[in-house]
Structure 1
Amino acid sequence: MSNAFEDVLSANEKYAERFSLGGLRPAAARGIALVTCMDSRIEPLDMLGLAPGDAKVLRNAGARVTDDTLRALVLAVYLLQVERVLVLPHTRCKMASVDSDDAVHETIHRNYGVDTRSLEFHTNSDQLGALRHDLERIRHHPLLPDTLEVMGAIYDVDTGKVSPMDV
């Protein structure tokens, strides 16, 4: 076995010794699902005053509401007691700093020789426009209830502040 993961496996041994989440219910205790970015500057539970078990956290590049995100939200609403959804992209996001997926494909191909054109990255330099679009995808999805509360906000990676967006 490779040593590439030795650091995280060793850390897990220590974590498992003090593990206290056994028996936690799989439902979202506070009824919230959070769609946010995979950016490592985001600590989704801490920044919203949540604890393990309080929320369902869905992360992807750019905090976009993709078909897979919608699939997970349908499951979360009907099986895991989610009643509200917060879509939370962030400032200085790489996926919001490029004009198109083509630019990302070109950069990866130029720098690494890998053709990624079979993938959609959902880039959009109009972050508020993308947020508006994603909120509408949730609000009008035929499998999600009209009673589902949906909100968008932007997380500032430099201040830790969450600012609700009226979009």
Structure 2
Amino acid sequence: MTAPPPVGDLARAVLDGARSRGWTLGAAESLTGGLVVAALVDVPGASAVVRGAVVAYATDVKGSVLGVDAALLARRGPVDPSVAAQMAAGVRRALGTDVGLATTGVAGPDPQDGHAPGEVYVAVSTPAGDRVRRLGLPGDRPAVRAAAVRAVLALALEAEEGGDAPAPVKEA
């Protein structure tokens, strides 16, 4: 089994893909708390592509800032594939970007609203459409959060390339 690429390599590839298409990026983060945008802005030249991020950690912020449907949040809660998709589309609107990345889920150590630690949804919204992926991530809180960053970057790369990406990467 080969080791997954470093997160910096994934971030660089996402930025290069967006730059080559003339696209800008924004991130809407819940459980990752800013780690996605931090990975992106660690890459020199990111400012040509990255417009910003919204850390929507509280459920009500997902609705008020990102425009996630309040009835959906009340019915299903924040750990949901439709919520992830609406977060990604919402950050595109809020920041005026071409691409929106989103993460939502349970990092642990305890379950949340009937969802086990490691249940994570990542989403990407681009001019070509939206993609959402459900993940069951093993490990402690830092491992789940790091794997979610990798997964949303891999999904973004898949969306940019228009093809299928390998299964989500599990942290060692």
* TM-score of the aligned structures, taking structure 2 as reference length: 0.36
TM-score (norm 1): 0.36
Larger Rg over CA atoms: 1
Richer in helix (by share):
2
